[in-house]
Amino acid sequence: MKVVYWISLVLVVLTLAPSLLYWMLYLSTGEAIARARATNMFRWCVVVVLGTFNIWVFGRVFGAIRDIWFSAPPPPPPLPPVG
């Protein structure tokens, strides 16, 4: 699972960095295309974050289902007292 989180982190950085650069370009020049590109890159960043959150949640759900269906056997009963 850690690999998924590392890949997600890389993708977030790779989508958020151009978004910030285009946003600064929009603030300095006022061109509409720079704003459109900034918002599109930010939306892809949001998609990556929400997808990672879904993977995390469903990983926990499937783990709980697996633990319910394939649970460990109960411990042995205690031994009666001697004497």
Per the CB < 8 A criterion, the answer to whether 37 and 22 are in contact is yes
Backbone φ and ψ for 75, nearest 5 degrees, come out as -70, 155
Enumerate the domain spans of the chain.
2-69
pLDDT tens column, 19-49? 999 999 999 999 999 999 999 999 999 999 9
Confidence of residue 16 (pLDDT cuts 50, 70, 90): very high
Q: Which two tokens stand for residue 72?
A: 């460990």
The pTM of the full predicted model, rounded to 2 decimals, is 0.74
Q: How much of the chain exceeds pLDDT 90, in percent?
A: 73
Confidence of residue 1 (pLDDT cuts 50, 70, 90): confident
- DSSP for 5-61, written as a single string: HHHHHHHHHHHHHHHHHHHHHHHHH--HHHHHHHHHHHHHHHHHHHHHHHHHHHHHH
Confidence of residue 67 (pLDDT cuts 50, 70, 90): confident
